[in-house]
Amino acid sequence: MNPPPADGSAAEINRLHAEVQRCAVQSRDHLTAALVAAWEAGRLLRAEHERVNATMLRGAWSLWVRKNFRGSAKTAKRYMALAGAASDPAVFAGLSLRQVYFRLGIATEPKKRRQHPVSPLPEYVRLATRLVCALRRVRRLARTPAADAYRRDLRLLYEQLQPLFGDVNQRGGHGSNTP
pLDDT tens for 72-114 read 999 999 999 999 988 898 888 888 888 888 888 888 876 665 5
CA atoms of 105 and 124, how far apart (whole Å): 12
| pLDDT exceeds 70 at position 172 | no
- pLDDT for 179 equals 41
Residue 175 pLDDT: 46
Interacting residues of 110 by C-beta distance below 8 A, sequence separation 6+? 116, 117, 118
pLDDT digits over 122-164, tens only? 888 888 888 877 777 767 776 777 777 777 777 888 888 888 8
**178 confidence band (pLDDT: 50, 70, 90):** very low
Quote the pTM value. 0.55
Length of the chain equals 179
What does the alpha-carbon distance between residue 28 and residue 94 come to, in Å, rounded to a whole number? 6
CB atoms within 10 A of CB 89: 21
